[in-house]
Amino acid sequence: MHLDLKILEAPPADQIQQLNHALQGYMESQLPGLLPESEDKVFMVCKHDEQGNLVGGLLASCYWNGLEIDTLWVADSERGKGVGSQLVESAESYGAKNGAVIAFLKTMDAKPFYEKLGYEVYGVLEDRPIGTLLYHMKKRI
């Protein structure tokens, strides 16, 4: 039997859908009742100043009993004032209310910040980008 191997640099939507459907079928056979990852609940926590300017924000999603923190940003003028901690704690609370039992994230330079909040490293990826360390961190919530 000959298998045709291709690399698709701009894969068509139907090919992506076919692959995702096949994986979802496998996952359902292993874990009946598991919702598709695409059913995740994306949310954002925001902090604004008196003028309505965004001074901090966190983008995250809840799925498969986890809270994935994707993006955290705090304005330079607000760093060191607890804004980042407030954003993370609010996201953790929202995640827990939506079934999350663990929070996880990736960071290059905020490892000490997350460690202060109770996160621990469970993996390190070197050279992405070259010369850096990408820390994978988690916390039970």
Residue 54's Cβ-side half-sphere holds a number of Cα atoms within 13 Å equal to 10
User: pLDDT averaged over the chain?
Assistant: 94
Q: Tens of pLDDT along 75-122?
A: 999 999 999 999 999 999 999 999 999 999 999 999 999 999 999 999
Q: Is the pLDDT of residue 38 over 70?
A: no
Measure the N-to-C terminal CA separation of the chain; round to a whole number of Å. 50
Q: Is residue 8 within 8 Å of residue 15, measured between CB atoms?
A: yes
3-class SS of residue 115: helix
- Domain at 13-140, CATH homologous superfamily: Gcn5-related N-acetyltransferase (GNAT) (3.40.630.30)
Q: ∠ CA(110), CA(74), CA(38), 5° rounding? A: 75
Smallest CA-to-CA distance from 73 within 32, 39, 36, 113 is with 113
- Global confidence as pTM: 0.84
How many CA atoms does the CB half-sphere of 101 hold within 13 Å?
2
Distance CA 88, CA 3 (A): 47
